[in-house]
Chains A and B, each alone.
Chain A
């Protein structure tokens, strides 16, 4: 018996079908998209700085002072792919829809992506330098000093 869904009844793309979305917070440079997208290039660089000092006297902070922001990304070493012997993927969509009833998202971070649809390529990168700096606590004097 021949399967009537395959290969006669196939679909080139699938469509996301969603009942409802509840999204509370999208942080800086985060994206929410309903629909298809070709390519995403999201990039985030941040210095998370905790200092017990006033902004007026703390001075400036420079990205160039930290090597994490110009460090090269790790490369994928795959000799078979380099020789043109990678994995050939063939996809067959027997059903034209991806159905989700309800999506609840509390928060999305910076340079993040919430996509309801198809995408061809996603390149995303985040670099965060975290520094905490506190003054030395003063010693507590003894009772009979």
Chain B
């Protein structure tokens, strides 16, 4: 077993500027034991649908993308 020993000495920061903390992400000043972050973002080229406006799929269809008449 790997023994990992950390000695935290003085930590002083003057200023932090953040433009954005995105979805399901975190910004922390402090200590933590476990961090698990998962993110899925699905926008394949097929998700751009240019054609006749069709209704979006109903539940149970199991379609991965939008309507079947995508071009």
> Which B residues between 8 and 51 are near A, CB-CB below 8 angstroms?
8-43, 47-51
List residues of A (55-103) whose CB comes within 8 Å of B's CBs.
58-62, 64-68, 71, 73-74, 84-95, 97-103
What band does the interface of chain B fall in when counting residues whose beta carbon is under 8 Å from A? 35 or more
**Which residues of chain A are within 8 angstroms of B47 by Cβ–Cβ distance?**
130-132
Q: How many A-B residue pairs have CB under 8 A?
A: 237
Distance between Cα atoms of A36 and B32 in the complex (Å):
10
CA distance A51 to B67 in the complex (A): 13
Q: Find out whether the CB atom of B4 lies under 8 angstroms from the CB atom of A89.
A: yes
Q: Which residues of A contact B38 (CB under 8 A)?
A: 73-74, 124-126
Query: Given the complex, which residues of A lie within 8 Å of B17, measured CB to CB?
Result: 104
Instruction: Report which of A40, A66, A105 forms a contact with B21, defined as CB distance below 8 A.
Output: A105
Q: Is the CB of B34 within 8 A of A120?
A: yes
Whether B63 lies near A113 (C-beta < 8 A) is no
Closest to A40 in B: B26
- A22-56 contact mask (Cβ, 8 Å, vs B): 1 or 0: 00000000100000100010111010010111000
A2 interface residue (CB < 8 Å to B)? no
Q: How far is the CA of A52 from the CA of B65 in the complex (A)?
A: 17
The chain B residue sitting closest to A71, CB to CB, is B40
Contact of A95 among B10, B16, B62 (CB under 8 A): B10
Q: Inside 8 A of B49's CB, which chain A residues have their CB?
A: 131-134
Instruction: Tell me how far the C-beta of B12 lies from the nearest C-beta in chain A, rounded to whole angstroms.
Output: 4
- Smallest CB–CB gap between B67 and chain A, Å? 8
Assess the B8–A119 pair: CB atoms within 8 A.
Answer: no
> How far is B32's CA from A65's CA once the two chains are assembled, in angstroms?
37
Given that A90-B6, A113-B27, A126-B39 are known contacts, is A106 also in contact with B19, CB under 8 Å in the complex? yes
CA distance A85 to B1 in the complex (A): 5
Cα–Cα distance between A68 and B17 once the two chains are bound (Å): 33
Contact B4 A44, beta carbon cutoff 8 Å: no
A111 to B23, CA, bound (A): 6
Chain B positions within 8 Å of A, measured between CB atoms, are 1-43, 47-53, 55-67
7 other contacts beyond A43-B24, A103-B29, A107-B19, with CB at 8 A cut-off?
A92-B8, A98-B29, A99-B11, A109-B20, A109-B23, A115-B27, A119-B33
